[in-house]
Every structure is written in structure tokens, then in C-alpha cells.
Chains A and B, each alone.
Chain A
Amino acid sequence: MTPSYRIGIDVGGTFTDIVAIDGEGAMTFLKTPTTPENQAVGVVDGIAKLAKTLRLPQSELLRQTTRIVHGTTVATNALLERKGARVALLTTAGHRDVLEMREGLKLDRYDLRTPPPEPLVPREKRFSVIERLRADGSVATPLDKASLVEATRKLKEEAIEAIAVCYLHSYRNSRHEKETFAYLRQEMPEAYISLSSEVLAQIKEYERVSTTVVNAYVGPGVRAYFAALEHKLAEAGYTGTLYIILSHGGVAPIEEASRLAAATVLSGPAGGVAGCRHAAHITGDLNLIPFDMGGTSTDISLIVGGEAALSSNRGLAGQRIALRSLDIISIGAGGGSIARAEGGALDVGPQSAGAFPGPVCYGTNGTEPTVTDANVVLGTLSTDRALPGREPLDKAAADRALDQLAKTLGLTRERTAEGIVEVINVKMADGIRLATVSRGVDPRDYALFSFGGAAGLHACDVARGLDISRIIVPNFASVLSAWGMLSTPLRYEVSRTHIGDTRGLDAKNLRALYDDLAHAATLKIAGKTPGEIRIQRSAEMRYGEQIYEIDVPLDDLDWESPNLMDEVTEAFRRRHEALFTYSLPDQDIVLVNARVAATSATDALPELPVSAAKGSDAAPHQRRIYLGHWREVPVYPLDALVPRQKIAGPALIEAETTTVLLKEGDHALVNRWGWLDIAVAAR
């Protein structure tokens, strides 16, 4: 039988991770350096390496591949580094500055000396078009062709590559935006054009214009990258569809991701959350906190009842992106976070040595001590081995850097190193609190799902600080994101604003509204998948005088019932009470956005094979590490652990790209797949 492969590719800042799963469920994974100037080069290199590992010619491997899913940081980097397209914006006359006004908000209220950020589209590239709609969608002022012609002339003059179009109330009536599109398409056939009514047909002009502008800004780069990648893969012999994982954790075919490029800004971390969600289903532990600690940042999110938490309240690099995305909290704390003395006290981060110059022990010109250096000093991070494409870590350099800081603080080298780890752990615990407690979730009811290169050394202490008693570490923790992409269903979401009192809506209209949306969503994925298509309905609702909508799932209602509207309002009340502990029976309820998601339960992944590790009779190798004092602890290779094996802390468990530290009282149990299930000692 021909094995049919699925390949997941996660391009990170430093490494490109590749995971392949064959028809039997056997998994192969590897890491290869990322090629930042053109990520496609690294991707194709990785596939060549994979073919070698599987002892197949590359063309044969790709011929046998049924699906490639890809997570990319092209859009993310374009935004972070401000390297997007030359973009312009067409707005309703009289409302040219919505983008730059940012609703009057500024993040740090005590900072009166930092000038405002440069908007993605400066004022001279924002052009007014005479037209106006009212809130009910009726036309107050028809689209004035002459003003559109004049704006287009300027667009050409400025050699604009991408155009965002956002008119007031276009979520209600897209006619003027569509007329604008038709004219622009004809005049500027090469330009990337984004209409706000297609990117995010939702009320609230700042969110809509900002999201549409981000889409136009990253769109051309994303489109070009996808085209190049598709071309390279086709050259190499791949004829299947290339799928992209989006910020909301679903995957979409490449042409859809090119159109809605703004939905790929969290494509990178989305794979990790998707992987955690899948892990929740196969382990049966439905409440997990994905904890992904990397070099510069730590990403934290939530899996509740087996589902990933979503939010429309996100942004990146100071840009508001109101598309639904995974609710990932990214905190500036990681292995590269820099430690320093401030007013006689120690503090760590948010400054990071990043990938370059990197921690001092990397020997790449870093001079300031980092968390990674502290771990090297404490002996928990091995200096014997090297990451792919890197030199082994330089312990002497880490010692010197720590000594300097220790002198300033009047502490020993070891106590300083221990302190750095302690402080960064408190910050990560704060991040987890933000992702849980501030959303009304008690972290003690959850298991920490630890992955990413740096998480294993910190997970036990971070969990302990929050009274979390359990940690799960998959044995492929360092490539979890790429694996996660393969477990993700096709998903397409559409929404429409229908702002109105629920009393003014009847069951018939509501059914028609949702049927329309379901039809539109289904069309987008029909034919892409052999599986059945599942429809999920929800609404964003609030009390009349409130300003924050809440998400109300509507799938469990009786959609044929004549009392459908009562059921909808009841569902809202129950949800409000669950979230905020109260409901207000006599207040008006407003339905703001109707949403439908179409999901294809693609052919599910084959089951993970049971670990075939044989274990070893030899006593584990010992290493001296500092845990309040220097002592010897056993070091176990992760790959050699046998199911049901028990390891008691203090101990280290090492794999090529990740290390797990157990302290006194922590116990790890190896599960049937070779993952670690850790019982954390109480503090």
C-alpha cells in the first residue's frame, strides 16, 4: 500500500519545523534553519531533508502527499518590521482620519513624550470620496463619480500597490464600495484591492478600516509569497492543494488566505494552539493552558472543554485587527529576556537579546545576561550539545556575564542566576493569570500544556506558582505547531451586522439571515473536502446600554420553533450570567453581529502510534546542577523513556531541542505515546 503523507510546515523566526505523518500515523519530524529573506527557500530545503530522512526521492514524496498545511510569519513580519506594500485608503468624505484617530486611545497614559505612531496609511495617502450611507443602509449622498476619478488619478500618481476602501455603514450596504471596486479594477488592474465590506462586514468604523488597511498592507507580500511557494512546490512535484493555517486556528486554501491576508498574522502561533486542542481530544483532558515559551516571547492561550478560546479584540504591532482570532496572549518573556539591576533590585525583560545577538552563551556577540545564560550557569541547560546550525553553548561566557550582575546586586553568581529564573517565572505566571483569572477562569482547574524550546525548564515552577498541579509535555514538544496544523479542520467564517433590538426581529427573518450566511460559508469550502460540512451559528449580543458584546452560541436552539427569538434571548441571558455572574431581566437585548462558521471534519488524523522505546538498563547519566545548592541529578533521554515509566524529581529529561526540569517532589509518568504527564509538587 502506498503511504499517503500529510506534511505540516511551521516557519518560525529561527527554525522551520516540518512534520510528516503517513497513512499509518507514523510521524517524522525535523528542524531546518529559516531563510528570512525568502521563507519558501527554507521550506523547500526542509522538504528535501524530509525526503532524505524517509529515503524517498523528493518528487515521489510529494506525489504521495495528499495535503500540505503551512503556518507562515510573512504577514506577521511585514507588520512588525513595517515592510508592507505602498498602500492607500479611500474613505467617505469628511471622515478621512478615522484610521489615525484610533478612537482617541493611547496605550500608556503616563507617557506624554512618545510621539504618535506613524499610521500604515499617512494622511496624504488617504483620499476622500464623496458618498454617504445612513445607519439603515439607505443612501444619503450617492457615490460621486468625479471624486472617485480624482482619487484614482492620485493613486496612480503615487504608484500605489494596494488600496483599502472603507466607507461608513458599508457593512449594511456594500453598493458604493462595490462600484468603487469595479472602477479601480478597470483603472488599476495590477493593484491589490481590499473592500471593508468583504474583509469585515461589521459595524464600528475604526476596527473595520484598520483591519482592511492591514489586509491591503500585507496582502501583496502574502500573495507573492504564496505564489512563489506554490510554484516551487509544483516544480518539486506537488500537485495537491496548499493550505494555510489562519489566526483563528482553522485552515483555508491558499487563494482564500491570499484574499484575506490579514487573517494570517497569527498563523505562526495558531499551529501550537491547534495542536494543543487536538491533544486535548486525544488525551481526554479537555481543559488545557497552552504554554509556548520561546526565545523572545511566551504565548499563552486557553483550551476550554476541548475548544480554543477566540477573540475579536486583537491587534499586532499596534495595529487593530478585528478579525476573529485565537485569544493568544503574548508576553515579552523568554529565554532571551535580559536581566539587569534596577535601583538595587533585579529585574528581567521585557528587553530581549532575541535571535541576534542572542544570549551571551550563544557566542554571537551578546553581552547582557539572559534567562538562557542563567540556566547554563545553573547547569540545567546542557552545554554538550548544539541546536541545528549552531555552536555548542559557551558556559564560561555565561558565568562571566552573571558574575558582573551578581557583583552589582551583592549576591553570589548562583543566587543571581536562580533569581533571574525566579523573576521570569513570576512574569510568566502573571501572563497565565491574565489569560485565565482576568477571564474568570481558575487556572487550578487546568493542566499546563508545555511546548516550545524553552518551556520545559520553567514549566514546573510556573505551574507551582499558580497552584496548577499537572503538566503535559508531548515528546515532540519542539515541533508541536507543525503537528497541530495537520490536525486542523477546514473552516470558513462569515458574519453580518444586524444591529437591532431582539424584539424587532422575528423568527422567520432570523432564520433567513442565518440560512444566507450558512449558504455563503458552505460555498467557500464545498468541493475542497470529502468530509461532511458542519455549520456553527453564533451571535454577538449585548444589553442595550452596554458596549462590549458577548459571543452567544446558538447551535443548541430549536431553529424551527416559532419561539426562536425567546430562545435566543434566553441563550444570551444564560451566557451573560455565566460570564459576569448576573443578568438583567428587564433590559433590552441587542443583536449586533450574526456569525456562521462552516467546518469540514477532514479525514481525521490516524491515531498516534504507541511508543516503541525499549528503555535502557544502564543507570542514567548524572549532572551537577544548582538547586539551592550544587547537587548531582540524573539525566534521562526523552526518546528512551518507556510507557508507564516513572521519574521522580530532581531530574532532567532531555531531547535534542528541549529539556524538562523536575524538582524535588515533582513526578513524571510516561504515557503510552512517550509524553510526560507531570504531577507538580505543591509549594
Chain B
Amino acid sequence: MGAHEKKIAASARRKRKLDPITQTVIRHRLTSISAEMGEAMLRTSYSQILNSSRDFSVAICDDQCRLIAQADHIPVHVGALPWALKSAKEAFPDAQKGDVVLLNDPYYGGSHLPDITALIPVFHSGRRLLWTIVRAHQSDIGGATHGAYNPDATEIWQEGLRIPPILLYEQGRLRADILEMLAINVRHARDFRGDLAAMVGAAHLGERGLERLCDEFGASLVEEAIEAVLDASEERAREILESWTDGVYTGEAVLDDDGRGREDIRIRAKVTKRGRDIEVDLSASDPQTTSFVNSSHANMQSAVAMAFAFLLDPDIPKNAGTFRPLSVVAKPGTLVWATDNAPVTLCTSHPSNEIIEAIVKAMQPACPERVMGGWGRRFRLAIKGHDARRNRSFIWHMFHARPGGGASANGAGWSSIGEWHSAGGIKFGSIEVDEARFPLLFRKHEFRLGSGGDGRFRGGMGVELELEVEAQGLINTAGDGARHGAAGMLGGGDGLPHSYRILRADGSSRVLKTKEVGIAIGPGDLIDVRSGGGGGWGKPAASESQLAPRGVR
């Protein structure tokens, strides 16, 4: 077939009306374009946090900032990307073909500083129709401490480099001076450049796929299909909502502390469910703090969307249609919506986890078969030091000892699986590989028996880790959940909270707090980690032994 016949065939397709089949075909194509963008990121990124932990996400939005399609990576990004686009469009209302917008600032639609977002406008038939968006967690973003988590920060400037919406490329031309300015401000410039190139590449790949889709079906048919897809998703979400009991419900979740002595910081959710609509109001949450446990606005929106998505069906498309029945109310100056340049780096884990938990808790009477016991909290630990055997310095991030997941009406929770915000998306990797690469000896890494919350179905178990560091080093921590465990639901018990200690060679011991820097560790010392369990679901049966999770005897 020559070019002429191809044109005729394409125009025949374009003249086609939107029927249920064309709609499905276009929906699958949009999904596979975003999946391809995600694959490209995995294959080409440099940092372990991206290619192993997959801490990135990709999305397609339309020019009205509506989420159209998204590849499943880390749930915490769901629903956050449209806020970044809003901010990018405000800064560059006339974004041109070939422009690449970059941003990370939590006060300009970002989540927290380490997450950089690249956005590319997609044009067809002379119009700006769509955007492809890639967000990726950088292994470093400058600031006072390596890797951005700084418990000592009292203002955002101490957390790293702030990037409001800027143009990295202007009509296809790289602004090299801007890239230079960014790269000089981060600790691993080479990895940073590599990861940034991978992000822009993946966004361009999506652009190409979308242009092709429009060539084939015509831009207006694609737009029509998108409307229909969003409407169908909305209808599905509303049908599910309709089956929940109407009412006004409240739920509360509690953070341990801000690391500066302020304890029991509360997130309060008031959820109003009426017919086919739902409103989440977080206004009654506690005021913001002076440390990094505050949430940015976009991150709060994302956490609410995540909670809603968890309560719907797992396979429902994550798009703007699905989220149409949901409205969110919050108050600036509270923990969930920090203002005045307060630090926010911990927010994608805390208070994300607590926001989700407060909402799920509130919904217990409304849809008991859908709520799940609380998932574990994040308590991260990084060790840096000098490895004398290999004569080199090292930094090791602990992804091991993952906490337990919550139980549900369908059965027990997953053990050693992660937090609400990652939900099994992060791999902890091989102990053998870590022992071959770092001066570490894992004496024990086994389920922490009895750590899952009691219930008709028990929460998943956390993990006991006994770790020897065979070198001199320093430990930094960042996290929460050493006082409050994952919540049980509908009469189920809470999971045990985290308990981290150092057992010194001299027989003494000390508790590791969740927000500390520079704790010395050396040969003969043992890090004793016991991660929290998931929340139980339902009242424990009178004879509960047969319902206890496997292996707990």
C-alpha cells in the first residue's frame, strides 16, 4: 500500500464513529503507551532507588489536567501528578512543542523535594491535547543531609534544592546552563544526569505513542474516546459507592511525634458519603509542625486518592473519572497541608500512611467488607561508614525487615510486605548480595511471630532482623510507628509497633528513635530490628486457633 492508500485507510478510520469497541481499543492503547514509558524508565535509569525499588511513576494527562492513564508503580503517586501539571501550566500557559517542564517544589505542585517531575506537552492537529508526565525519586537532591531525609530541618531550604516549574528544554533545545545549575547542587551529579535523561526520554516515548494514536484515529476521536473512558470509570466508581451505607463518618490516626518532643499528632478524617458521592474532610487535623513530618498539598491529595482507590476494586482504572465522585476538603496550616516553607520530606510515607488509615478507619461502618486492617509504618535506617576490608566508604539503605500488611474480609494480611504507601511495590533484595557488597552479617531475618494484630483474620507479621555491622559507621533514621502500630479494623487488634535497638558489644543497649542522626555503630554491636505487624480485621472468634496466620503456634 502506498502513502496515498495509507492516508485513505487512516481517514476511513477517523470517520469511524465512537462505538464501544473503538473505545476499548483506544483505552488499551493509552494503557500500553503508559506501560511502555514505565518500562523505558526501568531499563534506562541509573539509580537503585529507581531500577530496583521502582520509586517512580508515569502518567498521561489531558490539557485540562485530568489524569487519563497511569502505569502502576508506587501507589503514593496516584492522583498527585495532575497537581504538578496545574502548576506547570500556570507557569507556562503557552507551553510549546519540544518544551520540557521540570519541577519538584512541594509548594508548586510537587510532593517532596527528592521527587522530580518532568512534563511534556503533546500536540496534534495544531492543538495542545495531552501531556506525558514522569515523576522519579532522586537518590539525592542536595540540602543538609545525603538522600534528602533530614530530621533536623526546620525549613524547606535545609531539605534540598527547590525547583519551581522551569523549562529544561525550550522548543527542543536543552538549556544547558539550567541543567548545570541543577547538577552542581546534588551529590551524585552523574547519576542525576543519567536519571534525568531517562525521565525525559520516557516522556518523549509517550509523546511519540500519543501522536501516532492521534494520526491513526484522528485527534477528535481520541478525545471522544477519552471522555467515554473517563465517564465509564466514573460510572463504575459510582456504582461501587452506591453500595456503601450513607452517613457521616469519622476516623483518626496518630503519628508518634515530630522528633522534637511534640507527641501524638492527630490526623482526623470526616467522610460524608451520600448516594453516589463522597467527601473527605481533613480540616480537623492537628496544626503543622516544625519538622519534616508535614505534608505538602499535592501529597495530601494523593494520599486521599490512594485511600479511595484501595477501597474500590483493584482493577479499576486510575484516572480522573474514577476520582470524580471524590471531593477533598483540607485546611492550610494543618499537618496535611503545610504552608510557609515548612519542611515536608517525610510526607510521602508520613503522614501519607496516617491520612490513608484515618479515612479507611472512618469507612468501617460504611463498607466493612472493603476496609482492610492498617498496613505497617515506614522506619528507615541508613548506615554510612568505611569498609576496611574493601578499603572504601559505603552507604547502605535498609529496605529489609518490612512491616506487615493489614488483614481483610478475605483473610490474613501479608507478612514482610511494606507500608500503605508502597503496598508490596518495594523489593528488599538479597541478603547474600548485601553481605558480598557491604561489611554486614545478617544473623537473623525471620518473621516476628505474634506481631500481626489479632482478629477474625490476623494482620501480617513484621520481621526480626539481627544485623552486625563489621565496620565503624554512623546510623541515620527517619520514620514513625515506634509507639503506634498499624490499626486493627472492625474489632481487630492493632499490629505491634516497631521496636529498634542497638545492643552494644559491652552489654549495654539503647533504643533507636525514629528521627535521629549520627548514632555510632561498630564491630561487635548488634542492630536489633523488630518491625511492626499489620492490623487485624474483625473480632477474634471464640476459638481462633485455626484462623491464626500460618506458622504461629
* A and B interact physically: yes
CA distance A164 to B435 in the complex (A): 23
Interface set, chain A 91-140, CB cutoff 8 A to B: 94-98, 100-101, 103-116, 118, 122-124, 134-135, 140
Please indicate the chain B residues that have their CB under 8 angstroms from the CB of A347 in the complex: 24
Please state if B39 and A438 are interface contacts (CB–CB under 8 Å).
yes
Please indicate the chain B residues that have their CB under 8 angstroms from the CB of A683 in the complex: 6, 9-10, 13, 216
Nearest neighbor of A108 in chain B, beta-carbon distance: B314
CA distance A113 to B311 in the complex (A): 9
Please indicate the chain B residues that have their CB under 8 angstroms from the CB of A113 in the complex: 314, 370, 372, 408-410
Please state if A343 and B24 are interface contacts (CB–CB under 8 Å).
no
Interface set, chain B 437-461, CB cutoff 8 A to A: 441-447, 457, 460
Closest-CB distance, B15 to chain A (whole angstroms): 14
Interface set, chain A 382-397, CB cutoff 8 A to B: none
Decide if B20 is an interface residue (CB 8 Å cutoff).
yes
Please indicate the chain A residues that have their CB under 8 angstroms from the CB of B275 in the complex: none
Which of the segments A257-265, A418-426, A523-531 contacts the partner chain? Answer: A418-426
Please indicate the chain B residues that have their CB under 8 angstroms from the CB of A168 in the complex: 431-432
CA distance A440 to B40 in the complex (A): 9
Please state if A104 and B416 are interface contacts (CB–CB under 8 Å).
yes
Please state if B424 and A409 are interface contacts (CB–CB under 8 Å).
no
A343 contacts which of B21, B35, B39, B232 (Cβ < 8 Å)? B232
Please state if A103 and B429 are interface contacts (CB–CB under 8 Å).
yes
Number of interface residues of A (CB under 8 A): 68
A135 contacts which of B410, B411, B412, B432 (Cβ < 8 Å)? B432
Q: Mark A657-680, 1 if CB is under 8 A from B, else 0.
A: 000000001000000000000000
Nearest neighbor of A587 in chain B, beta-carbon distance: B190
A433 contacts which of B32, B429, B550 (Cβ < 8 Å)? B32
Decide if B396 is an interface residue (CB 8 Å cutoff).
no
Please state if A104 and B427 are interface contacts (CB–CB under 8 Å).
yes
Q: Mark B221-253, 1 if CB is under 8 A from A, else 0.
A: 000000010001101100000000000000000
Closest-CB distance, A634 to chain B (whole angstroms): 22
Please state if B20 and A547 are interface contacts (CB–CB under 8 Å).
no
Please state if B23 and A345 are interface contacts (CB–CB under 8 Å).
yes
Please state if A203 and B430 are interface contacts (CB–CB under 8 Å).
yes
Q: Mark A399-428, 1 if CB is under 8 A from B, else 0.
A: 000000000010100010011001100110
Please indicate the chain B residues that have their CB under 8 angstroms from the CB of A437 in the complex: 36
Decide if A346 is an interface residue (CB 8 Å cutoff).
yes
Closest-CB distance, A27 to chain B (whole angstroms): 37
Interface set, chain A 186-223, CB cutoff 8 A to B: 203-206
Please indicate the chain A residues that have their CB under 8 angstroms from the CB of B28 in the complex: 423, 426-427, 430
Please state if A546 and B410 are interface contacts (CB–CB under 8 Å).
no
Interface set, chain A 301-348, CB cutoff 8 A to B: 341-347
| Main SS class of interface, B | mixed
Decide if A682 is an interface residue (CB 8 Å cutoff).
yes
Please state if B550 and A122 are interface contacts (CB–CB under 8 Å).
yes
Decide if A681 is an interface residue (CB 8 Å cutoff).
yes
Please indicate the chain B residues that have their CB under 8 angstroms from the CB of A605 in the complex: none
Closest-CB distance, B545 to chain A (whole angstroms): 13
Interface set, chain B 21-63, CB cutoff 8 A to A: 21, 23-25, 27-29, 32, 35-36, 39, 43-44, 46, 48, 51-52
Decide if A48 is an interface residue (CB 8 Å cutoff).
no
Please state if B21 and A419 are interface contacts (CB–CB under 8 Å).
yes
Number of interface residues of B (CB under 8 A): 88
Closest-CB distance, B63 to chain A (whole angstroms): 24
Number of A-B contacts (CB under 8 A): 205
Which of the segments B81-89, B149-157, B399-407, B472-480 contacts the partner chain? Answer: B399-407
Nearest neighbor of B466 in chain A, beta-carbon distance: A94
Please state if B444 and A95 are interface contacts (CB–CB under 8 Å).
yes
B436 contacts which of A203, A418, A547, A581 (Cβ < 8 Å)? A203
Given A423-B21, A433-B32, A104:B428 Cβ within 8 A? yes
Please indicate the chain A residues that have their CB under 8 angstroms from the CB of B408 in the complex: 112-113, 115
Given A106-B414, A122-B551, A423:B24 Cβ within 8 A? yes
Decide if B176 is an interface residue (CB 8 Å cutoff).
no
CA distance A415 to B19 in the complex (A): 10
Closest-CB distance, B193 to chain A (whole angstroms): 11
Closest-CB distance, A573 to chain B (whole angstroms): 16
Closest-CB distance, B400 to chain A (whole angstroms): 8
Decide if B379 is an interface residue (CB 8 Å cutoff).
no
| Main SS class of interface, A | loop
Please state if A116 and B446 are interface contacts (CB–CB under 8 Å).
no
Please state if B236 and A94 are interface contacts (CB–CB under 8 Å).
no
Decide if A545 is an interface residue (CB 8 Å cutoff).
yes
Please indicate the chain A residues that have their CB under 8 angstroms from the CB of B72 in the complex: 108-110
Closest-CB distance, A547 to chain B (whole angstroms): 5
Closest-CB distance, A190 to chain B (whole angstroms): 27
Please indicate the chain B residues that have their CB under 8 angstroms from the CB of A581 in the complex: 44
Closest-CB distance, A176 to chain B (whole angstroms): 14
Please state if B553 and A124 are interface contacts (CB–CB under 8 Å).
yes
Please state if A95 and B435 are interface contacts (CB–CB under 8 Å).
no
Q: Mark A144-171, 1 if CB is under 8 A from B, else 0.
A: 0000000000000000000000001101
Please indicate the chain A residues that have their CB under 8 angstroms from the CB of B488 in the complex: none
CA distance A548 to B54 in the complex (A): 13
CA distance A423 to B74 in the complex (A): 29
B52 contacts which of A115, A123, A440, A547 (Cβ < 8 Å)? A547
Please indicate the chain A residues that have their CB under 8 angstroms from the CB of B370 in the complex: 113
A548 contacts which of B21, B51, B415 (Cβ < 8 Å)? B51
Decide if B375 is an interface residue (CB 8 Å cutoff).
yes
Please indicate the chain B residues that have their CB under 8 angstroms from the CB of A122 in the complex: 550-551
CA distance A426 to B472 in the complex (A): 57
Nearest neighbor of B440 in chain A, beta-carbon distance: A135
Closest-CB distance, A589 to chain B (whole angstroms): 14
B36 contacts which of A123, A411, A438 (Cβ < 8 Å)? A438
Q: Mark B336-373, 1 if CB is under 8 A from A, else 0.
A: 00000000000000000000000000000000001010
A115 contacts which of B44, B412, B443 (Cβ < 8 Å)? B412
Please state if A111 and B314 are interface contacts (CB–CB under 8 Å).
yes
Given A344-B235, A581-B44, A169:B36 Cβ within 8 A? no
Please state if B423 and A110 are interface contacts (CB–CB under 8 Å).
yes
CA distance A123 to B552 in the complex (A): 9
Closest-CB distance, B75 to chain A (whole angstroms): 5
Nearest neighbor of B39 in chain A, beta-carbon distance: A438
Please indicate the chain A residues that have their CB under 8 angstroms from the CB of B48 in the complex: 545-547
Given A103-B427, A110-B314, A682-B9, A345:B416 Cβ within 8 A? no
CA distance A548 to B447 in the complex (A): 27
Please state if B417 and A106 are interface contacts (CB–CB under 8 Å).
yes
Decide if B69 is an interface residue (CB 8 Å cutoff).
no
Q: Mark A356-394, 1 if CB is under 8 A from B, else 0.
A: 000000000000000000000000000000000000000
A96 contacts which of B19, B52, B446 (Cβ < 8 Å)? B446
Please indicate the chain A residues that have their CB under 8 angstroms from the CB of B553 in the complex: 124
A341, A344, A422, A681 — most chain B CB neighbours (10 Å):
A344
B414 contacts which of A116, A344, A411, A415 (Cβ < 8 Å)? A116
Decide if B426 is an interface residue (CB 8 Å cutoff).
yes
Decide if A571 is an interface residue (CB 8 Å cutoff).
no
Closest-CB distance, B407 to chain A (whole angstroms): 8
CA distance A411 to B18 in the complex (A): 12
CA distance A438 to B74 in the complex (A): 20
Please state if A115 and B411 are interface contacts (CB–CB under 8 Å).
yes
The 5 nearest A-B residue pairs measured at CB: A106-B424, A123-B551, A115-B411, A111-B314, A419-B21
Q: A106-B417, A112-B314, A122-B551 are known; give 4 further A-B pairs, CB within 8 A.
A: A104-B416, A109-B424, A110-B72, A682-B1
- What are 9 residue pairs bridging A and B, where the CB atoms are less than 8 Å apart in the complex? A97-B447, A104-B426, A106-B423, A110-B423, A205-B432, A346-B20, A548-B51, A580-B44, A581-B44
- Residues of B bordering A, CB below 8 Å: 1, 5-6, 9-10, 13, 19-21, 23-25, 27-29, 32, 35-36, 39, 43-44, 46, 48, 51-52, 72-75, 194, 216, 228, 232-233, 235-236, 309-310, 314-315, 318, 370, 372, 375, 399, 402, 405-418, 422-433, 435-436, 441-447, 457, 460, 463, 466, 550-551, 553
